[in-house]
A = this chain, B = another copy of it.
Amino acid sequence: MITLYHARFSGNSHRVHLMLSLLGLPFREVEIDLFKGEHKQPPFLGLNPWGRVPVLADDGLVIRDSLAILVYLAEKYGDDGWYPKEPVERAAVSEWLGIAGDDVVRGPGVAMLTKLLGDYVKADYDDALKRAYTLLKIMDAHLTGRDWLASDRPTIADVACYCYVASAPKGGIDLAPYAQVRQWLRRVEGLSGFVPFINAVPAGSAAA
């Protein structure tokens, strides 16, 4: 049985939740309360010394890092489409996973967290905006004439990049000029098994 230790508030967690749902895999959820700092205390630190969600446990194997989990789930449970073996597509997936782990988080991800949580996060909002608009410009050009980021089918690259781009408007980022990006978001949302990213600050939390 798969167990997902995650937080509904976390976009990195959503990547894994979305992948599990797209693959139709049953799993047990353990919600980690980030606002109570559960991720920085035992017993969670025993699962992940980095103190970060998500963590996936599957049959004794514990995997930290959302992108590592996507690779694992695609290889173990997906067909070749989600993490294609063909070198050109594999390279494109790898490139977009790198962007998902860096620009996507530090751009629209940080912008959204700053808008939602204010001083609770210590981040440079202007830097996040700059990164976000660079990302959107490159992504929009890349998606011109393409339906998906790395292949003619959806891959884990699309799953990894989706949530923070989708929630960019919550970070004060205007997606209106990026028609290709908006169409791609609608395509992801149309996939069978899609689950939305719900990232409202919980009522009564330290940051509410």
Count of chain A residues with Cβ under 8 Å from any Cβ of B?
A: 28
For A50, what are the chain B residues with a Cβ–Cβ distance below 8 Å?
A: 99, 103, 134, 138
Q: How many chain copies?
A: 2
Among the 9-residue stretches A19-27, A84-92, A184-192, A196-204, the one with 4 or more Cβ atoms under 8 Å from chain B is: A84-92
For A65, what are the chain B residues with a Cβ–Cβ distance below 8 Å?
A: 94-95, 98-99
CA distance A61 to B88 in the complex (A): 7
Please give the distance in Å from A132's CB to the nearest CB on chain B. 14
0/1 per residue, A39-76, Cβ < 8 Å to B? Answer: 00000000001100000000001011101100110011
CA distance A87 to B75 in the complex (A): 9
For A71, what are the chain B residues with a Cβ–Cβ distance below 8 Å?
A: 90-91, 94
For A76, what are the chain B residues with a Cβ–Cβ distance below 8 Å?
A: 87
0/1 per residue, A75-109, Cβ < 8 Å to B? Answer: 11000000000011011001101110111000000
Please give the distance in Å from A186's CB to the nearest CB on chain B. 24
Cβ–Cβ contact B94 & A68, under 8 A = yes
A30 at the B interface (CB under 8 A): no
A117 at the B interface (CB under 8 A): no
- A67 to B, closest residue via Cβ: B98
Cβ–Cβ contact A61 & B75, under 8 A = no
Cβ–Cβ contact B49 & A138, under 8 A = yes
Cβ–Cβ contact B87 & A68, under 8 A = no
Question: What is the interface of chain A, defined by CB distance below 8 A to chain B?
Answer: 49-50, 61, 63-65, 67-68, 71-72, 75-76, 87-88, 90-91, 94-95, 97-99, 101-103, 134, 138, 141-142
Show 7 A/B contacts (Cβ-Cβ < 8 Å), sorted by A: A49-B141, A61-B87, A68-B95, A68-B97, A71-B90, A71-B94, A72-B94
